Amino acid sequence: MKTLNLDLGAKSYPIYIGRGLLMQADYLRKHISGKQVMIVSNTTVAPLYLQKVLGLLDGFAVQNVILPDGEEFKTLNTVEQIFTALLEAKFDRTCTLIALGGGVVGDMAGFAAASYQRGVNFIQIPTTLLAQVDSSVGGKTGVNHPLGKNMIGAFYQPKCVLIDVDSLDTLDARQYSAGMAEVIKYGLLGNSDLLAYLQKNMPDLMARDKEMIVKIVHQSCVDKAKIVAQDELESGKRALLNFGHTFGHALENTLGYGEYLHGEAVAVGMLMAAKLSAAEGFIDDEQVSQVEDLLQKSNLPTTINSKIGQQDFMNAMSVDKKAINGEIRLILLKKLGQAFISSKYKVQNLELIIKDFL
Amino acid sequence: MKTLNLDLGAKSYPIYIGRGLLMQADYLRKHISGKQVMIVSNTTVAPLYLQKVLGLLDGFAVQNVILPDGEEFKTLNTVEQIFTALLEAKFDRTCTLIALGGGVVGDMAGFAAASYQRGVNFIQIPTTLLAQVDSSVGGKTGVNHPLGKNMIGAFYQPKCVLIDVDSLDTLDARQYSAGMAEVIKYGLLGNSDLLAYLQKNMPDLMARDKEMIVKIVHQSCVDKAKIVAQDELESGKRALLNFGHTFGHALENTLGYGEYLHGEAVAVGMLMAAKLSAAEGFIDDEQVSQVEDLLQKSNLPTTINSKIGQQDFMNAMSVDKKAINGEIRLILLKKLGQAFISSKYKVQNLELIIKDFL
């Protein structure tokens, strides 16, 4: 078991990473301060792990709310279901919300915890690779709006993150690959050692070698924790973590949810960002091919097969949260393993690459 | 013009109080950092003051969203209208939301500012007495849920609060009295000088003597700012500001919105709390009469004329945010001008007083 600390002063918290953590009550229990616990999960994850987590919570007043599964349900309306469950149970501001599931569950449970009675305790138990390496760490919570992804939310930090990689046993192959996209992201944006490790070991990782998984999950969390600790509210450096995401969000927004998983959209987005980085002269075509190759070895998409209008795609990019006064800021690669924020690229290059993909 | 500073470290902000402030652009403009401004108002206030505020914002990209007027519209659905307006205008995270209106507008615009893109700039221009002396100061934002008042929200501080008491010229008498209830609250809970001033001058205050109004608005904000600075997130002392509110919220929740204005419900609630304080032996009947007399001089209700079941009322009290593990904590008076938080009162006394009012 590995423990790492996300250093945010009074809001610091531990991230526990290992195998069999859902069999050990202590890590979870010591971060619950009140008596009332609401487990937020979904229809896919609850049948698999709810009983296990309940087994760790003997002596607490535990309730649960089971949400429908899918990004299309990540809305204010679904969060309202959590509020209703909390109020029906008469839970007060000493209660603790536990997110048990993937990124969608974590984002909504976190926003509910941030907003219920203006803020209650919150714990993350991510069960998908994507949530374990990315969304459960760093305190971004929120929901989608019909006009934009993750447009409504809060920065709200959990009391701890409990990552049991054994929960990946039940994750389907497509979801697993989608999570791997975010691991690749850490390699590309700032960690060339991790990138080299992924390039060398992707076949074994795809075969779900557990020791290797612990290693890459831990390294991803270390990288993310380091950046978040420097810039919790994303006024600067944290935007690097959105490498591939402005393109990816535009893809998700224009196609609607369901066509691509978030990680899949990010995979395509990272390749688009790599190609723009090449067009801008920062990396060469061989390096773009390396990115493409790694994504393909992870069974991730590298093309857009659906019809999207170019103007629709550009519009969707311009409402991204990184946009400032209508100008689309993008994360580009200076080299493989080093990203930077730019609004100085040639718009013509951006348009050519979008056209090429659509 | 009086300026006072709410001291919250990096989140500190000024509160400007005076006459004719909506004619002076400087106070407002220096607290807007970006170019995009969204004014949030309602159908009652916008026709009166929107043009005035627009006149102060030359050179900014200004949009507005006009909400329906009334506590019954203080819901997540209405806040979603603000998000839609922001997204349709393609406003980014450098934008500023201005709340122009009473407490309901301020609570919703503040929660929208806290949640849009995980937090954007926010300015309060309260136009009702209640908002000027209470809800616009201190960063409490949020909406109601069918099962409880103000159950969903955030602590989110504005960049400044701009209080033009001339905007009270257009406030109807009932709303004005409802605001006076909160002023009386400051007197009762911790400021016996203010209390004496109100007892002496209520007829002139009811006649809306402007210099006197500036004085009591300023004193109310000073008192509130002092308490909020000590306890922003209401882990202790700030709960004193809820004097009369647990009873008042229960009244609003059981009767539905519209029967009593918030300040009216608080007035009845303060009298209930005063009577419980007497039953517990802290104050005497003559002092209870003083409270009743002051409320009546302010044209505030001191009785409950609608039918409410006693159990319904108790249930509504137990979901109040001050409840901990099902125990109803109340703010009682040690003497007139000094309140304290208690869960040690006799439940029998509480029940008798509720029975007496219903």
- What's the ipTM? 0.92
Nearest CB neighbour to A90, from listed B88, B119, B326: B326
Q: Given CB atoms, is A93 within the 8 Å cutoff of chain B? A: yes
Q: Residue A257 above 80 pLDDT?
A: no
Q: Given CB atoms, is B114 within the 8 Å cutoff of chain A? A: yes
Q: Under an 8 A CB cutoff, do A153 and B84 touch?
A: no
What the block records as the tokens of A41 is: 């999960």
Chain A partners within 8 Å of B84 (Cβ): 145-147
Per the listing, tokens 């994750």 go with A171
d(CA A287, CA A184): 14
d(CA A195, CA A189): 9
Bridge partners (DSSP) of residue B14 are B5
Per the listing, tokens 């987590």 go with A53
Do A159 and A203 share a structural domain? Answer: no
User: Given this model, what pLDDT does residue B358 score?
Assistant: 92
* Helices marked H in B207-323: 210-230, 245-255, 262-279, 285-297, 310-318
User: Given this model, what pLDDT does residue A256 score?
Assistant: 81
User: Given this model, what pLDDT does residue B74 score?
Assistant: 96
d(CA A109, CA A142): 9
Q: Residue A235 above 90 pLDDT?
A: no
Q: A245 lies in which domain range?
A: 173-357
A126 confidence band (pLDDT: 50, 70, 90): very high
In chain B, which residue's Cα lies nearest the Cα of A92? B324
Do B133 and B75 share a structural domain? Answer: yes
Q: Among B170, B189, B223, where does a domain finish?
A: B170
CATH code where residue B32 lies: 3.40.50.1970
Q: Given CB atoms, is B155 within the 8 Å cutoff of chain A? A: yes
d(CA B55, CA A81): 42
Which pLDDT tens digit goes with each residue over B121-161?
999 999 999 999 999 999 999 999 998 889 999 999 999 99
Under a CB-based contact definition with an 8 Å cutoff, are residues B326 and B317 in contact?
no
Q: Residue A324 above 90 pLDDT?
A: no
Which pLDDT tens digit goes with each residue over A21-78?
999 999 999 999 999 999 999 999 999 999 999 999 999 999 999 999 998 999 999 9
Rg of chain A's alpha carbons, rounded to an integer? Answer: 20
Among A residues 283-322, those touching chain B with beta carbons less than 8 Å apart:
318-319, 321
Helix axes A285-297, A262-279, angle to 10 degrees: 170
CA distance B92 to chain A (A): 6
User: Given this model, what pLDDT does residue B257 score?
Assistant: 72
Do A311 and A216 share a structural domain? Answer: yes
Which among B256, B226, B222 has a CA at the least distance from the CA of B238?
B226
- Which residues of B are marked as active site? 118, 140, 182, 224, 234, 238, 242, 245, 249, 262
Do A324 and A280 share a structural domain? Answer: yes
CA distance A201 to chain B (A): 37
d(CA A271, CA A194): 18
Do A151 and A17 share a structural domain? Answer: yes
Q: Residue B77 above 90 pLDDT?
A: yes
Q: Per the confidence metrics, is the pTM higher than 0.90?
A: yes
User: Given this model, what pLDDT does residue B256 score?
Assistant: 82
CATH code where residue A242 lies: 1.20.1090.10
Q: Residue B298 above 80 pLDDT?
A: yes
Do A235 and A90 share a structural domain? Answer: no
Secondary structure class of A66 (helix, strand, coil)? strand
| Percentage of chain A exceeding pLDDT 90 | 91
Mean pLDDT of A352-357: 96
Q: Which of A185, A238, A275, A322 is labelled catalytic?
A: A238
Mark whether A321 is an active-site residue: no
Q: What is the β-pairing status of strands B13-18 and B96-101? A: unpaired
Enumerate residues 6+ apart whose C-beta is below 8 A from A211.
none
Q: Among A146, A170, A194, where does a domain finish?
A: A170
Which among B216, B179, B177, B182 has a CA at the least distance from the CA of B196?
B216
| Residue to substitute from A60, A152, A156, interface B, most B β-carbons within 10 A | A152
Which pLDDT tens digit goes with each residue over A149-170?
899 999 999 999 999 999 999 9
| First-last CA distance in chain A | 44
Do B302 and B159 share a structural domain? Answer: no
Bridge partners (DSSP) of residue A111 are none
Query: For residue B224, which amino acid is it?
Result: K
d(CA B257, CA B335): 32
* Helices marked H in A207-239: 210-230
Mean pLDDT of B5-19: 96
Do B232 and B166 share a structural domain? Answer: no
Number of structural domains chain A divides into: 2
CA distance A288 to chain B (A): 31
Do A163 and A59 share a structural domain? Answer: yes
User: Given this model, what pLDDT does residue A149 score?
Assistant: 87
In chain B, which residue's Cα lies nearest the Cα of A119? B154
Chain B partners within 8 Å of A120 (Cβ): none
Q: Under an 8 A CB cutoff, do B324 and A140 touch?
A: no
Do B124 and B269 share a structural domain? Answer: no
Which among A45, A170, A157, A156 has a CA at the least distance from the CA of A104?
A45
Rg of chain B's alpha carbons, rounded to an integer? Answer: 20
d(CA B46, CA B65): 9
> Considering chain A, what is the average pLDDT of its residues?
95
Q: Residue B322 above 70 pLDDT?
A: no
Enumerate residues 6+ apart whose C-beta is below 8 A from A281.
none
Do A150 and A178 share a structural domain? Answer: no
Q: Which residues of B254-264 are buried (b: 16+ CB within 10 A; e: fewer)?
A: bbebeebbbbb
The number of beta carbons lying within 10 Å of the beta carbon of residue A313 is 22
Q: Residue A277 above 70 pLDDT?
A: yes
B323 confidence band (pLDDT: 50, 70, 90): low
In chain A, which residue's Cα lies nearest the Cα of B149? A117
Which pLDDT tens digit goes with each residue over A157-203?
999 999 999 999 999 999 999 999 999 999 999 999 999 999 999 99
Question: Could you tell me how far CA A103 lies from the centroid of its own chain?
Answer: 6
Mean pLDDT of B315-319: 85
User: Given this model, what pLDDT does residue A258 score?
Assistant: 77
> Considering chain B, what is the average pLDDT of its residues?
95
Secondary structure class of B267 (helix, strand, coil)? helix
Q: Among A128, A148, A170, where does a domain finish?
A: A170
Enumerate residues 6+ apart whose C-beta is below 8 A from B146.
A84
Q: How many CB pairs under 8 A join A and B?
A: 105
Do B191 and B166 share a structural domain? Answer: no
